[in-house]
Amino acid sequence: MKLADLHLRRHDDGTYTAIWGPFLLKSGFQPIFRMTGGPARIGAFEALCRPFRDGVPSSPGKFFPLVPKDEGYLVELQTRAVHVLNAPAVLTGNEWLFLNFDPSMFTSRGKILDALAILNETIAIAGFDRKRIVCEVTEHRTDEAQLLSLVSAMRERGFKVAVDDYGADDSDMERVRKLSPDILKFDAYWITKLMDSGTAGADLLKEMVTTFRDKGIITLFEGIEESWQLDLAVDCQVDFVQGYVLARPQTVPTNFHDFRAKLPGAGAGTGSQPPTRVPVKSSLDAWDKQYSELMDAPQPQPVAVNAPRAPSSEQSQMRPDYAADSTGFGVRRPPATFGKRTR
């Protein structure tokens, strides 16, 4: 399959879309904030599929189940191509671009090579720096050899690799050992459960972040929806945070330029380069035991450090260092649905 086979369109406003059946596939971008090395600032964006039918937005959670399995590979190719073509207008600094990959779609070596060739071609057309691409592996249940082959091919082409939905069970730990990712995205539901468990859960998160950083792996908390969760994330010294408490996704064309200008350290991008990488060691086994004991224990009463707080008049907007503004960024919002499928 070639880029010309993906039914892409360029519109008068400069945005790109893809056509699949009756759906028009647009790009959405959600900021990911760098929390270390200075004030909070946008360090990356995750690209998300935003399907429309007859001009009306359709939920990704309803769209993707409609895609037959034998066409899922095509839709993934389309969405990634559209995201890369739309990225230069959104990522105006040196931010990274997270692109989702479902390894279960790559049932042959040929499909891996075709997908990465199309990605390379799209990057060249867009004039985008490949070093800013993060390939986010989103699916757990896949053949191990297939997964390792995909990740190896990504690395050979100079892309960073992120593992999504990390939690403290054996399969997740084994994935980290074998894949040795550049970036680790902690599972949103699992983070929330640990944060809700009291100080012991927060301490475990902090220990994990520190240990992964020592091993050269960048950490990211996603699904952060409440300001008290953001406070705990900052206390854990996690590298990146993603969630509605900081910014919601926008469908192209976006207005992140106005939002970015109000951030402290505007234009700082990802800041320093990733730390030197060293092998992942046996800390993962100890965390598995700690997590199991913590989840099996009676849950404590909420304590001041992580109890949800009703905002005072001064707290009704996000703190200045997290850049609340009239567009609605930084406002407390209802929890998002976890387990999204928004390639």
**Contact residues for 107 (Cβ-Cβ < 8 A; gap 6+):** 146
Distance CA 87, CA 27 (A): 9
Domain contains 165? yes
Q: Tokens 């050992």, residue?
A: 177
Query: Is the CB of residue 229 less than 8 Å from the CB of residue 245?
Result: yes
**What's the confidence (pLDDT) of residue 81?**
98
Give yes or no for a contact between 79 and 53, defined as CB atoms under 8 angstroms apart.
Answer: no
pLDDT exceeds cutoff 90 at 271: no
Q: What percent of the chain has pLDDT over 90?
A: 50
Task: Check whether 244 has a pLDDT greater than 70.
Answer: yes
Question: 3-state DSSP: the chain helix, strand, coil percent, rounded to 5?
Answer: 40, 20, 40
The verdict on residue 8 lying in a domain is: yes
Q: Which of 120-134, 163-177, 182-196, 282-296 has the lowest mean pLDDT?
A: 282-296
Domain CATH number, residue 256: 3.20.20.450
Burial of 141 (0-12, 13-18, 19+ CB in 10 A): exposed
Q: Is the pLDDT of residue 178 over 70?
A: yes
Residue 336 lies in a domain: no
The verdict on residue 327 lying in a domain is no
Average pLDDT over residues 35-62: 93
Tell me the average pLDDT across 298-314.
33
User: 250-284 burial string, b = 16+ CB within 10 Å, else e?
Assistant: bebebebeebbeebeeeebbbeeeeeeeeebeebb
Q: Is 220 helix (H, G, I), strand (E, B) or coil?
A: strand
Query: Mean pLDDT highest for which of 30-34, 186-190, 291-295?
Result: 30-34
Going by their DSSP bridges, the two strands 96-101 and 41-53 should be labelled as parallel
What torsion do the CA atoms of 13, 14, 20, 22 make, to the nearest 10 degrees?
10
Extract the tokens encoding 224. Answer: 């952060």
Q: How many domains does the chain have?
A: 1
What the block records as the tokens of 161 is 């690799």
Write out the residue range of the structural domain in which residue 216 sits. Answer: 3-322
User: Has residue 241 got a pLDDT over 90?
Assistant: yes
Q: What is the pTM of this model?
A: 0.77
**154 is a domain residue:** yes
Interstrand relation of 218-221 and 183-186 (parallel, antiparallel or unpaired): parallel
Digit-coded pLDDT (tens) for 251-261:
999 888 766 65
Residue 342 forms part of a structural domain: no
Reported as a single tens digit per residue, the pLDDT across 119-177 is 999 999 999 999 999 999 986 677 888 899 999 999 999 999 999 888 756 567 777 88
Domain membership of residue 98 (yes or no) is yes
User: What's the pLDDT at 205?
Assistant: 86
Rounded average pLDDT over 225-246: 91
Does some domain include residue 337? Answer: no
Residues of the chain with pLDDT > 70, as a percent, come to 73
Q: Which residues contact 72 (CB under 8 A, 6 or more apart)?
A: 64, 102, 105
